[in-house]
């Protein structure tokens, strides 16, 4: 029977993994393009059920037409639907953007609030989206528990929680708050490139020595290398 890992040992192992991922992905960042907090909030909302690459492709046209919340709040619905059409679910996404922009105008003078408690009260904004905006637009540390982050946190044995909020708190307790935003990027990048949901590339994983789930995917170096993606999901 394997020995039970102490909390101190778990913290040490978790931080070793993060340091190695930081070395492996020195360019890790938010893969959604943005110039302002409003743009990041909008593209994060749009990224649901599609890819960052697709969202980035419509971004220039979207913000050329609607550069801020007041402009988007007054958008022509049909024109907005046409712009976000390539992302799928365009009617629902258009409705979300209109309600979100209108709420920003009515409650916050058209500006994106820099506080979690205000962000999560906006239409269509949950903790995941709020933490993306806080960490990347405002420099406020936050953990973004998307599907990749949750999967890797469980595979690494950092938590067994499947509820995103509980997982966020459990993992946050293992790291200094200042590291939370970059930790999120490291895990998301690794999840998109190596530690896939199906057939993780275990034999090509830089943190395999510290991973209790090693062997869930191919451990042969050649087979594993063939599974590695050089960039995030297209």
Active-site residues: which are they? 128, 146
Kindly tell me the sign of the dihedral angle through the C-alpha atoms of 37, 41, 43, 47: positive
- Closest Cα partner for 63 from 99, 35, 102? 35
- Closest Cα partner for 203 from 217, 188, 221? 221
- Closest Cα partner for 37 from 110, 94, 99? 110
- Closest Cα partner for 116 from 99, 103, 133? 133
| Contact status, residue 137 vs residue 112, Cβ threshold 8 Å | yes
- What residue has token string 């070395």? 23
What is d(CA 126, CA 128) in angstroms, rounded to the nearest whole number?
A: 5
Tokens of 173: 């307790």
Tokens of 125: 């904004």
């Amino acid at each position: 029977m394997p020995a039970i890992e102490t909390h101190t040992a778990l913290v040490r192992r978790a931080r070793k993994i993060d340091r190695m991922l930081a070395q492996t992905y020195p360019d890790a960042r938010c893969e959604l393009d943005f110039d302002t907090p409003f743009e990041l909030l909008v593209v994060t909302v749009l990224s649901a059920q599609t890819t960052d690459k697709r969202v980035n492709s419509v971004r220039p046209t979207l913000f050329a037409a609607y550069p801020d919340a007041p402009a988007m709040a007054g958008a022509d619905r049909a024109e907005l639907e046409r712009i976000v059409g390539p992302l799928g679910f365009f009617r629902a996404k258009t409705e979300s953007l209109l309600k979100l922009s209108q709420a920003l105008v009515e409650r916050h003078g058209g500006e994106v609030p820099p506080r979690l408690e205000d962000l999560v009260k906006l239409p269509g904004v949950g903790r995941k989206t709020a933490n993306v905006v806080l960490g990347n637009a405002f420099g406020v540390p936050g953990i973004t528990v998307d599907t990749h982050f949750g999967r890797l946190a469980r595979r690494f044995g950092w938590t067994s929680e499947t509820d995103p909020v509980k997982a966020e708190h459990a993992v946050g307790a293992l790291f200094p708050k200042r590291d939370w935003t970059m930790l999120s990027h490291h895990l998301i990048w690794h999840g998109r490139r190596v530690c896939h949901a199906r057939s993780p590339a275990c034999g090509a994983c830089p943190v395999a020595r510290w991973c209790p789930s090693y062997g869930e995917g191919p451990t042969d170096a050649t087979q594993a290398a063939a599974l590695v993606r050089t960039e995030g999901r297209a």
